[in-house]
Structure 1
C-alpha cells in the first residue's frame, strides 16, 4: 500500500475507484485506520466504500498517529489533521474534492473545509462524534494516560505498546502515540527519554484543544455559519455520536441536508444510495 510524506510525516493511503475525488477521513477515534471504512461497526454493515468507489475516486488513509502512518511528539490540534488531508490531496494532484468523515473524521472535514473552502465541493458528515458524554470520556482518557505516566514513566508506555495491539481508545494507558511507538524505533527512543513535565503539559493542552466543547469540535460555529459548502449530515445515536451533534451541525451549516434516519434504519440498501444522491447532485 502506498505512502506519502505529508507535513514531514509518513501517511499510508489507498485510492480506489474512478471519478471525482472523495477524500475520506476515517472513523475510529485514535485508531482512525483506512480499513475502518470496511471493518468498523456501522461502516462495515453499510458497505459504503464499495458503493462509493463505483462512481468516485475514494481516497482513504490512516490518520497521523494511527495505523501505519507516522507521527510527531507535539500538541496535536485539528489544524494538524487539516494539513494531512490537504497535503495528501496535493500529493495526488487534486485541487478540489468532495470530503467525507466518519465519527471523529467529521471534525477534521469541517476544519479542512473552513481552512480551504474553495477546495471542498461538498461534505458528507456521517455519524459525527460529539456531545457532552463524548467530551467527558475524551478528557478522562487523557487523564488516565497521564496518571499511568506519572506512576510508571514514559518508558513503560513504550513497553506496554509493544506488548499489545490495542490503541488509546481501548486502553488509555497507551496514550495517543501508541501506533508510532510500535512502528518507529527512533520515535520510541525519543519518546521514552522525553521530559515528563513537558510531556504532561503537552498532553493536557492537547486534550483541551481537541475537545473544547459539548458538541462537535473542529471548527468554530461562526465559521461554519459562513461556510458556503453543501453538506449532508447523517446522525449517530450513542454516547460518542450524540444526535444533538448532528442537529448542531444542521443549525450551523447553511442549507445543510440532514438525513434524519435512526441508525437502526440505516442499511446497506438505503445509506450508500443516499450518500451517492447527495454527491451526484453537487
Structure 2
C-alpha cells in the first residue's frame, strides 16, 4: 500500500500486476475502499480482480472520504473524484489508461471520460448506480445526517464516528466524512469547531451535485454522446443499481457494448473472460 497527496488530500492506493494501466474506481457507495474489489458482492463472487491483474496494471485506491484516504469538508462533485483519479495517474506517470468503475465508481469514470477523453483508452461500467429508488434512498441518507446534526450538533457526529465502525451508508447519522473523522484526529477537531450552518450548506450542495437525477449520475447525456471511447456496460438489477441506469449508458455512449446478462448469471466462469476479451480488443 502507498499514499500520495492529491490536491492536498491523502490517497491510499495499490498497484497490482503489469501491463497497460487500468484505473479502477472502487465499488461500495460511500465506503469505496480498494478492498471492495475482492470482498464485496458480485466482485467477490466473480473473482475478477486477480485475472485482470495478470494482464493489466490494476491501479486500486480508496476514494476520498473513504478508507484510509483523507477528505475535506466542501461541496463534493463528481469532478472532485475525477481529479483524484487523474492525479493518481499523473503521479504514476501514465498519460492514458483504461478506466473501470464498479457501482458508484461508474459515475466518476463517466465524468472522467467526459472531462479528459484523451486520457481514456476504454471504459468498463460494472453495475452502475442509478434509478429513482437510488436517488430517493440517497436523499434520505443525507437528510438523516442533517437531522442528526440539527438535533445533536457536530460534536455528536464526531463522537458517533469514533464510537463505531459503520460507514455513511450503514449509519447515515455519521455523514459523508465519517471515515476521515474516525482516523484523523486533527480533521475531527477542526470538524467539530466549524460553523454548523456553513457545514449544512456544504452537505446540501454535495447532495444536489451527486444525486441530481433518476438515471445514472456523473456526466450529462450530451457529454456522453460526444465520446468516441469503447465501453463495456454490465447491468445490475436492484434498488441501487437499476437496469435502467445501465441502459442509459448504452443509449448515450456511441461505442457502448451492452452485455445483456442477468446478475444471477454473472459468475467466475464468464465475467473475468468477458472483461479480458473486451479490454484486449480495446487496447
Q: What is the aligned partner in structure 2 of residue 237 from structure 1?
A: 237
For the pair 1:11 / 2:21, whether they are aligned, the reply is no
* Residue 200 of structure 1: how far off its partner (Å): 1.1
1:239-278 map, 5 Å: 239-278=239-278
TM-score by length of 1: 0.99
1:75 aligned counterpart, secondary structure:
coil
Provide the secondary structure at the position in 1 that maps to 2:70: coil
Do residues 45 (structure 1) and 38 (structure 2) align? no
Correspondences of 1:91-130 after superposition (within 5 Å): 91-130=91-130
Partner of 2:85: 85
Q: Tell me the distance in 1 between the aligned counterparts of 2:255 and 2:125.
A: 14
CA distance in 2, matches of 1:232, 1:205: 31
Aligned ranges for residues 50-199 of structure 1 at < 5 Å?
50-199=50-199
Structure 2 unaligned segments of length 5 or more: list them. Answer: none
3-state SS in 1 of match to 2:30: helix
Number of residue pairs matched by the alignment: 282
Residues 172-227 of structure 1 deviation map (CA, whole Å, 9 limit, x = unaligned):
00000011001111110110011111111111111011110000001000000001
For residues 78 and 217 of structure 2, the distance between their equivalents in structure 1, rounded to whole angstroms, comes to 9
Structure 1 counterpart of 2:227: 227
Counterparts of 1:33 and 1:255 in 2: how far apart (Å)?
29
**CA displacement 1:35-92 (0-9 Å, x = unmatched):** 0000001101011110100100000000000000000011100010000000000000
**Secondary structure of 1:114's aligned partner:** helix
Residues in 1 aligned to 2:89 and 2:117: alpha-carbon distance in whole angstroms: 14
Distance in structure 1 (CA, Å) of the matches to 2:17 and 2:138: 35
Q: CA–CA distance in 1 between the matches of 2:83 and 2:178?
A: 21
Aligned to 2:30: 30
Match of 2:200? Answer: 200
Q: Which runs of 4+ in 1 moved over 3 A?
A: none
CA deviation string 1:12-44 (max 9, x = no partner): 000001110000000001100000000001101
